[in-house]
């Protein structure tokens, strides 16, 4: 039976992706803020030469507190989303972000106020990063679920890119004007306000409603989302399928964090989700997003704001390709191909960086630098069109609903933990092994291929309930799962 897809469901998923925009915007703004003279003068430390700069510790704290906040926020998102609903959970995330923004913008001289503000905003970003993919995957029809959940990543990249552009714009304000940083941070307020208010007009997740005994509302919501009458056979089929799953899951009794590791293939999937998200970070993408500036300066591109804009634009543009690939080729193949491609790019990047970049006289070889930029962009092309979006997609769809929110939260926490570790330790590692660091990321990209091949199931074209059955079916192996989809009537 062909699925009916309403404009509402597309709007719902794209609109909820605004949560990704907030995530991206907040990630993107910080690299520029710490370079703005007025921000440095107010929150940095006076240097012997009369200028202001951040000590490593102070800068590290301002940058990293967001990651710590997001880590706590994504774990908080699960119980809030399970108890109050996905929709109120998203709205509470926006509220945290708004409060965090106000705390930061109202800072005058106290650097720790900015740090606390970033922690609070991070709580909001973390809650959104758990709840947006859950909300989207629970509402989306199976035939375009991959693309719709990928819009989350599209908006992350759009948010990063927008922040880079706004940073570039506000960096032209007077060096003694607070507008330099207040405008950039303050604009973030707007995105959270739009999402928080807009959510009042969108329906709650049908799976959450049925789980909470609200069958009538669930039926009405599904009918709106599938654009059909409430007694339409497709609605009945969906309700029946969700109901059966819920009943089976109730047999497991009340759920807590330990439940993520108990029950059929639960531990397997929770560890797999955490592994996939860890690997998404270990591909090394944020090495380019956080430290691209210094790499590019080797080739004569001196303005760090321009550097960021180039990387941000490649990242944003290539994510569109991911939206297409995820439905055309499924999840497994693009993830493996993407990992192989990124492995190759990092290998070349590290070789050139280590053996050819530095001339004997201490200057840098601009041709080697140019080659490194090309391979950095080729890397981002592969990341944005595969692991960037698909890590979120596969994690959003692999869990049964009884543990979905908590297991996704654990996987997301793994993403933020590795994000933090890589961003924090990169300067130290680069300091001691230089561009050979690229070989570490190359090895991780390579390791990602067998992980996907041996453990991840193909989920394209299946309902979330069918995905669960497939994971629990001892006859189906990950490497045969794509053919199983066809046999089970999934879409090619």
Judged by the rule CB under 6 A, the positions of this chain that interact with ligand BGC are 27, 153, 156-157, 160, 280, 285-286, 289, 315, 388, 415, 419
Closest CA to 86 of 185, 261, 209: 209
Q: How far is the CB of 385 from ligand BGC (least distance, A)?
A: 11
Q: How far is the CB of 228 from ligand BGC (least distance, A)?
A: 34
Q: Which residues pair with 364 in a beta bridge?
A: 358
Phi, psi of 17 (to 5 degrees): -60, -15
Q: Please say which residue, 242 or 285, places its beta carbon nearer to ligand BGC.
A: 285
Q: Please say which residue, 281 or 463, places its beta carbon nearer to ligand BGC.
A: 281
Say which residues have a Cβ less than 8 Å from residue 383's Cβ, sequence separation at least 6. Answer: 283, 285, 315, 318, 338, 342
Q: Please say which residue, 222 or 276, places its beta carbon nearer to ligand BGC.
A: 276
Q: How far is the CB of 268 from ligand BGC (least distance, A)?
A: 23
Continuous segment of H or E residues that includes residue 27: helix 18-33
Q: How far is the CB of 234 from ligand BGC (least distance, A)?
A: 32
Q: Please say which residue, 427 or 434, places its beta carbon nearer to ligand BGC.
A: 427
Report CA-CA distances (Å) from 395 to 134, 211, 270, 464.
9, 20, 9, 11
| Count of C-beta atoms within a 10 Å radius of residue 267 | 13
Q: Please say which residue, 133 or 400, places its beta carbon nearer to ligand BGC.
A: 133
Closest CA to 388 of 288, 487, 459: 288
Q: Please say which residue, 105 or 160, places its beta carbon nearer to ligand BGC.
A: 160
Helix, coil or strand: residue 346: helix
Q: Please say which residue, 419 or 459, places its beta carbon nearer to ligand BGC.
A: 419
Q: Please say which residue, 107 or 413, places its beta carbon nearer to ligand BGC.
A: 413
Task: Please give the Cα distance from 338 to 205 (Å, whole number).
Answer: 32
Q: Please say which residue, 141 or 304, places its beta carbon nearer to ligand BGC.
A: 304
Q: How far is the CB of 21 from ligand BGC (least distance, A)?
A: 12
8 Å CB contact between 467 and 398: yes
Report CA-CA distances (Å) from 72 to 85, 93, 119, 121, 469.
19, 12, 9, 11, 31
Strands (E), 154-295: none
Q: How far is the CB of 417 from ligand BGC (least distance, A)?
A: 11
Task: Please give the Cα distance from 15 to 26 (Å, whole number).
Answer: 18
Q: How far is the CB of 369 from ligand BGC (least distance, A)?
A: 23
Q: How far is the CB of 281 from ligand BGC (least distance, A)?
A: 6
Q: Please say which residue, 63 or 160, places its beta carbon nearer to ligand BGC.
A: 160
Q: How far is the CB of 170 from ligand BGC (least distance, A)?
A: 21
Q: Please say which residue, 15 or 289, places its beta carbon nearer to ligand BGC.
A: 289
Phi, psi of 53 (to 5 degrees): -150, 165
Q: Please say which residue, 235 or 276, places its beta carbon nearer to ligand BGC.
A: 276
Residue 356 is encoded by which pair of tokens?
């050819």
The distance from CA 93 to its chain's CA centroid, rounded to whole angstroms, is 15
Task: Please give the Cα distance from 385 to 258 (Å, whole number).
Answer: 34
Residue 211 is encoded by which pair of tokens?
């789980």
Q: How far is the CB of 284 from ligand BGC (least distance, A)?
A: 11
Task: Please give the Cα distance from 260 to 258 (Å, whole number).
Answer: 5
Strands (E), 20-87: 45-46, 52-53
Task: Please give the Cα distance from 372 to 352 (Å, whole number).
Answer: 7
Q: How far is the CB of 419 from ligand BGC (least distance, A)?
A: 5
Closest CA to 32 of 172, 130, 168, 202: 168
8 Å CB contact between 243 and 361: no
DSSP label of 353: I
Task: Please give the Cα distance from 353 to 168 (Å, whole number).
Answer: 28
Q: How far is the CB of 108 from ligand BGC (least distance, A)?
A: 30
């Amino acid at each position: 039976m062909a699925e009916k897809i309403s404009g509402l469901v597309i709007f719902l998923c794209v609109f909820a992706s605004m949560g990704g925009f907030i995530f991206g915007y907040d990630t993107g703004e910080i690299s520029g803020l710490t370079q703005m003279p007025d921000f440095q003068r107010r929150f940095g430390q006076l240097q012997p030469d009369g200028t202001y700069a951040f000590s490593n510790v102070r800068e590290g704290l301002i940058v990293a507190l967001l990651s710590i906040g997001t880590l706590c926020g994504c774990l908080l998102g699960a119980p809030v989303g399970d108890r109050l609903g996905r929709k109120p959970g998203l709205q509470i995330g926006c509220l945290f972000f708004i409060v965090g923004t106000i705390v930061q913008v109202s800072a005058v001289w106290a650097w720790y106020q900015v740090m606390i503000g970033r922690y609070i905003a991070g709580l909001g970003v973390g809650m959104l990063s758990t709840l947006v993919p859950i909300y989207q995957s629970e509402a989306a029809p199976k035939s375009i679920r991959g693309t719709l959940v990928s819009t989350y990543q599209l908006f992350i990249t759009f948010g990063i890119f927008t922040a880079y552009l706004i940073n570039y714009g506000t960096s032209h304000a007077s060096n003694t004007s607070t507008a330099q940083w207040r405008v950039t941070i303050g604009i973030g307020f707007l995105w959270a306000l739009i999402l928080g208010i807009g959510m009042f007009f969108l329906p709650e997740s049908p799976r959450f409603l049925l789980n909470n005994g609200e069958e009538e509302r669930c039926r009405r919501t599904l009918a709106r989302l599938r654009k059909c009458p409430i007694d339409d056979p497709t609605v009945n089929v969906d309700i029946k399928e969700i109901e059966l799953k819920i009943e089976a899951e109730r047999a497991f009794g009340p759920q807590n964090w330990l439940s993520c590791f108990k029950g059929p293939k639960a531990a397997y999937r929770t560890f797999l989700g955490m592994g996939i998200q860890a690997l998404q970070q270990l591909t090394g993408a944020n090495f380019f997003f956080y430290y691209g500036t210094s790499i590019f300066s080797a080739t004569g591109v001196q303005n760090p704001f321009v550097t960021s804009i180039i990387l941000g634009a490649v990242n944003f543009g290539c994510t569109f390709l991911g939206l297409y690939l995820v439905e055309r080729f499924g999840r497994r193949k693009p993830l493996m191909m993407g990992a192989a491609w990124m492995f190759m790019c990092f290998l070349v990047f590290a070789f050139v960086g280590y053996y050819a970049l530095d001339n004997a006289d201490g200057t840098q070889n601009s041709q080697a630098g140019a080659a490194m930029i090309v391979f950095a962009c080729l890397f981002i092309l592969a990341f944005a069109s595969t692991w960037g979006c698909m890590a979120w997609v596969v994690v959003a769809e692999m869990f049964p609903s009884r543990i979905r929110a908590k297991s996704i939260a654990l996987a997301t926490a793994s993403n933020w933990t590795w994000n933090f570790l890589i961003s924090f330790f990169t300067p130290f590692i680069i300091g001691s092994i230089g561009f050979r660091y690229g070989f570490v990321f190359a090895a991780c990209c390579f390791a990602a291929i067998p992980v996907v091949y041996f453990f991840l199931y193909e989920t394209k074209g299946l309902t979330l309930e069918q995905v669960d059955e497939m994971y629990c079916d001892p006859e189906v192996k990950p490497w045969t799962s794509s053919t199983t989809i066809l046999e089970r009537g999934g879409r090619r």
